[in-house]
Structure 1
Amino acid sequence: MVLLLFPEDYESLESDYSDLTDLYDAAVSEIDDLEDEVTVYESNIDELIERLQNLEEDSDILSSDNERARNIAKYKTGSLTVFSESERCVNALNKQKDKAIHEKRVVF
């Protein structure tokens, strides 16, 4: 089989080849751009994962601090309760003492 090309056919094929080459180059360029975008997205995802891990660590620290603060508040509240009870006892004893002193004065 023999393929005969006439000059106009050759020019047409050359034009088609040039068009296909341009399309191929454009496709390769688009693929490169998409790969760059994927790299940026992967970098953003890695950064977000790192930030999430930092937030989880901060949350753990805050939870621990919150638990410590609750325990301190319970201790202080308990101390205030004990103090209040002690103060009431002292006040009651002072009243009894005052009453006893007053009764001794009245009796004598």
Structure 2
Amino acid sequence: MDYSLDYSEENREFLERVGVRELLESFVAEAVRQKPHNLYAFMQSWANARCRHPPSITPQQAALKIQCALRQYKARKLMKSRQQAVIAYGQKEQEKERYVRVQIEE
């Protein structure tokens, strides 16, 4: 395969400095040993295992946190709308009482 990459001395030095060759050799060796059915999933899990900062929570835990936050947001929104409805109802009742008082006083 030709990816039209310019493989200059500078690029070679960079790849050696960051350790790409060793990384690729390690990945290929693991892939040959394990012979995974899904190479992309294997590559992702292999890279995550070697990541400096592995994910602190699993995708399932993240989904649960998101769902919980969404439920809390909806509950707050519903509570706020109910409070506004109660306030509006109270204001209407006060206006009715004022109207009745004015009618009685006249």
Task: Provide TM-score, normalisation by structure 2.
Answer: 0.50
More helix by share: 1
Instruction: Answer with 1 or 2: which has the greater Rg.
Output: 1
